[in-house]
Structure 1
């Protein structure tokens, strides 16, 4: 799942991402962050506009220790296949990790 936070006023997208990761997983340290893609769409059910900035981190180290157990109940590393994903997560996975052709 994605962090559920919101940008604070005058906070850049990258600063927001780093702050959210630090709040949710305080022992995790991210390497260089770069914008991969911005996605804007309208929710088919509610009609609400959605906007997401998707970033890639060059490396991550540290433990997946949870910062606020009221927000996150667990954290684990997984391979990109074999997980139940939301449509947005599936889109990202399939673009970043395309299936290998045999």
Structure 2
């Protein structure tokens, strides 16, 4: 089982991202799992805490990532879920952890290493 769960929600060519207050980096929403919590339950709880007015449709597991980040050396252990539908106001619930949420094109923004990995796998650069 993964140590954390992340959400990828896309709408009209943009993805849902939240900004970490401590370092200003953007990431896909989600967080660490509690004991005896499933990956999906973890994601639903984290979304409710971070973005309480966001309503998610059906969630499907895209991939479990267990790898070492080439840039940071940090071990990744994440369950990545895709939301088929996400709607509602992007009101911030946990202001100590995140300070902003946006729908943004997945390139041209400073992402955390794990979120960069997810972006590069799901939204590869278009070759000319």
Query: TM-score scaled to structure 2, two decimals?
Result: 0.67
Extract unaligned runs of 5+ from structure 2: 1-26
- Structure with the higher strand share, 1 or 2: 2
The one of 76, 88, 102 aligned to 1:50: 76
- Aligned partner of 2:110 in structure 1 is 84
> Could you tell me which of 26, 48, 59 is aligned with 1:22?
48
Q: 1:96 to 1:4 in 2, by over 3 A?
A: closer
Instruction: Number of aligned residue pairs: give it.
Output: 102
Aligned residues: CA RMSD:
2.4
Which of the pair has more CA radius of gyration?
1
For the residues of structure 2 that align with 1:42 and 1:96, how far apart are their CA atoms? Answer: 18
Q: Give the corresponding residue for 1:35.
A: 61
List gaps (5 residues or longer) in structure 1.
none
> SS at 2:91's partner residue?
coil
Superposition deviation, residue 86 in structure 1: 2.8
**SS at 1:14's partner residue?**
helix
